[in-house]
């Protein structure tokens, strides 16, 4: 088994992201396992695990955009903005107009100021917001800029007193899908919350890359090589043997000729370093392997 790389797990509902990491540590035989972006217990879908030196690339994976499918229930607001929380207000939403739903959601596309859910992992005064809410405190988090590039309506179902809206979303890191449900309900004047959420993509990782949680426990999975992931996450730079040697001595290389991070890869497909141009040279910002 490779010692540095990535695993993509299709998280089931009812478990935390930490539960998946804990099993990952056990089956991989290392404590050095992390994940690229928490999924709520009710949510399912793509959870990217990095292990060994893969953990050093997780920040770049986390910063990538993500895709989701979700179901919004109009007609009830909850304390958590999802079905897990106590209902704090309700209204008849069976007659809301499809055209109004479409207009409000369309206005959310682009870079917008979004207020995170109070029951979230955002820190307030050094404490997680959800811990302060559970302690009985009431407050609203400050809005932050997020970017939503896709927000499509897949289906609308008008029920007896509620309306359900299935949506597909592609967005930047830090976007709260629960907040989309809450804000849609508020704009319609009937309240709203999320009843289902599935993450279908994280950066370049999709459902086709994923194993089930049961397969993870049974060690029936294929890990992704660190170099292969770096090649698709960053702009690749194929090194000569001489350049690999220079990097092993901590020396910069001739500049990449671009403004992005480059993955420096050896002829035998090892990730040697991440490089970025500075002062006319390509300088390592992280080194992963020495020359053989």
- pLDDT truncated to tens, each residue of the chain (292 aa)? 788 999 999 999 999 999 999 999 999 999 999 999 889 889 999 999 999 999 999 998 988 899 999 999 999 999 889 998 889 999 999 999 999 999 999 999 999 999 988 665 555 555 555 555 555 556 567 899 999 999 999 999 999 999 999 999 999 999 999 999 999 999 999 999 999 999 999 999 999 999 999 999 999 999 999 999 999 999 999 999 999 999 988 889 999 999 999 999 999 999 999 999 999 999 999 988 765 5
Q: Which two tokens stand for residue 66?
A: 């993500």
In angstroms, the Cα distances linking 116 to 72, 141, 221, 230, 232 are: 16, 6, 35, 31, 31
The CATH H-level superfamily of 66-200 is Pseudouridine synthase (3.30.2350.10)
Residue 80 is predicted with a pLDDT of: 87
pTM for this prediction: 0.90
Q: How far is CA 37 from the centre of its chain?
A: 4
Residue 6 is predicted with a pLDDT of: 96
* pLDDT tens digits, 172-188: 999 999 999 999 999 99
213 Cβ neighbours under 8 A, 6+ residues apart: 9, 10, 11, 12, 15, 20, 23
Residue 172 is predicted with a pLDDT of: 96
Catalytic, 131? Answer no
Residue 117 is predicted with a pLDDT of: 80
Q: How far is CA 236 from the centre of its chain?
A: 23
Specify whether domain 234-287 bears CATH 1.10.1060.10. Answer: no
Rounded to whole angstroms, the Cα distance separating 162 from 158 reads 6
Q: Among 4, 10, 19, 40, which one carries the catalytic annotation?
A: 40
Q: Are 178 and 193 in contact (CB under 8 A)?
A: yes
User: Hey, which CATH number is domain 5-64+203-227, 2.30.110.10, 3.30.2350.10, 3.40.50.720, 3.40.50.300?
Assistant: 3.30.2350.10
Q: Where are the domains of the chain?
A: 5-64+203-227, 66-200, 234-287
In angstroms, the Cα distances linking 60 to 111, 202, 232, 255 are: 20, 11, 12, 21
Q: Decide whether 5-64+203-227 matches 234-287 in CATH topology.
A: no
């Amino acid at each position: 088994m490779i010692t540095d790389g990535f695993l993509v797990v299709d998280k089931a509902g009812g478990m935390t992201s930490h539960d998946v990491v804990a099993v990952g540590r056990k089956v991989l035989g290392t404590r050095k396992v992390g994940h690229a972006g928490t999924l709520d217990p009710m949510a399912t879908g793509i959870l990217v695990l990095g292990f060994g030196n893969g953990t050093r690339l997780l920040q770049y994976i986390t910063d990538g955009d993500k895709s989701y499918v979700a179901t919004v229930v109009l007609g009830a607001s909850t304390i958590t903005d999802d079905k897990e929380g106590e209902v704090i207000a309700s209204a008849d939403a069976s007659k809301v107009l499809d055209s109004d739903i479409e207009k409000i959601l369309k206005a959310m596309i682009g870079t917008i100021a979004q207020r995170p859910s109070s029951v979230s992992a955002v820190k307030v005064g050094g404490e997680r917001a959800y811990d302060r809410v559970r302690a009985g405190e009431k407050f609203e988090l400050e809005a932050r800029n997020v970017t939503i590039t896709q927000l499509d309506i897949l289906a609308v179902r008008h029920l007896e007193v509620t309306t359900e809206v299935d949506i597909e979303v592609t967005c930047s890191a830090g976007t709260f899908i629960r907040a989309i449900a809450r804000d849609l309900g508020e704009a319609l004047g009937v309240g709203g919350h999320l009843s289902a959420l599935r993450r279908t993509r994280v950066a370049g990782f999709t459902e086709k890359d994923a194993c089930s949680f049961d397969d993870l426990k049974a060690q029936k999975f294929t890990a992704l090589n660190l170099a292969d992931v770096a090649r698709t996450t960053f702009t690749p730079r194929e090194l000569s043997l001489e350049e690999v040697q220079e990097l092993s001595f901590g020396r910069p290389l001739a500049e990449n000729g671009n403004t992005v991070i480059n993955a420096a890869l050896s002829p035998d497909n090892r990730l040697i370093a991440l490089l970025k141009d500075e002062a006319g040279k390509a300088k390592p910002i992280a080194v992963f392997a020495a020359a053989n």
